[in-house]
Amino acid sequence: MGLPISPPPAAPAGLLDRFAAERVTGALSGPHGCFYFLDGAVYCIESTAAPGLGSRLTAAGKVPPQGWEYAAEAAGDRRTGGRFLVEEGWLTQGELEICHLAALLDAAFFALPLLPGATSFTPGTAHWLGVIRPVSTTALLQATARRRALLDRLQPWAAADTSPVIPVGTRIPAATTRRQRRLLDHADGRHTPYELARALGESAFATLLDIRLLAAAGLVQIPPPPTPLPRRRPGACLDGAPAPAAVEHTAPVRQLPLPDVFDTADPTIALLVRLRTALEEEL
Amino acid sequence: MPGIDQVLFRAMGIPGVLGAGLIDWTSGLTLGTAGQAPHGDHDAAAADTADVVQAVTRNATFDTEGTGGPALEDLIITAAGSYHLIRFVHTAFDSQTYLYLWLDRSQANLAVARLRLRDLAAELVAS
| Domain boundary assignment for chain B | 4-62+71-125
Is the CB of B73 inside 8 Å of chain A's CB atoms?
Answer: no
User: Does the pLDDT value for residue A11 go beyond 50?
Assistant: no
> pLDDT digit string (tens) for A22-73?
999 999 999 999 999 999 999 999 999 999 999 999 999 999 888 888 888 8
Q: Worst-scoring range by mean pLDDT, A73-87, B21-35, B48-62?
A: A73-87
Q: Do B24 and A59 touch (CB under 8 A)?
A: no
Helical pair A93-111 and B4-11, crossing angle rounded to 10 deg = 110
Touching check for B26 and chain A: CB below 8 Å? yes
**Least confident interval from A3-17, A138-152, A155-169, A248-262:** A248-262
The predicted structure's pLDDT at residue B117:
96
pLDDT at A69: 86
DSSP code of residue A133? -
Rounded Cα distance, A228 and B2, in Å: 58
d(CA A126, CA A110): 21
Mean pLDDT computed over A188-206:
92
B95: which chain A residues are within 8 Å (Cβ-Cβ)?
98-99, 102
Reported ipTM: the value is 0.93
pLDDT tens track for B32-64: 999 999 999 999 999 999 999 999 988 778 876
At B78, the amino acid letter reads T
B4-62+71-125 CATH fold: Beta-Lactamase (3.30.450)
H helix runs in chain A, sequence order: 14-21, 53-59, 65-75, 81-87, 93-111, 137-152, 178-186, 193-200, 204-216, 244-247, 259-262, 267-282
* DSSP secondary structure letters along A80-99: -HHHHHHHTTSS-HHHHHHH
Work out the percent of chain B whose per-residue pLDDT is above 90. Answer: 83
pLDDT of residue A170: 75
Cβ–Cβ contact B41 with A under 8 A: no
Residue A202: its chain B contacts at CB < 8 A? 94
A42 min Cα distance to partner chain B (Å)? 13
CB-nearest to A93 from B2, B65, B97 is B2
The H-or-E segment that residue A29 falls in is strand A26-30
Across the beta sheet with B29-35, the strand order is B29-35, B17-24, B97-104, B82-89, B74-78
Rounded alpha-carbon distances, angstroms, from residue B121 to A82, A225, B22, B102, B108: 21, 47, 10, 16, 19
pLDDT for A122-148, tens place per residue?
998 889 899 999 999 999 999 999 999
| pTM confidence score | 0.80
Interface test with A, best of B7, B26, B61, B89 (most A CBs within 10 A): B26
A150 at interface of B, judged by CB pairs closer than 8 A: yes
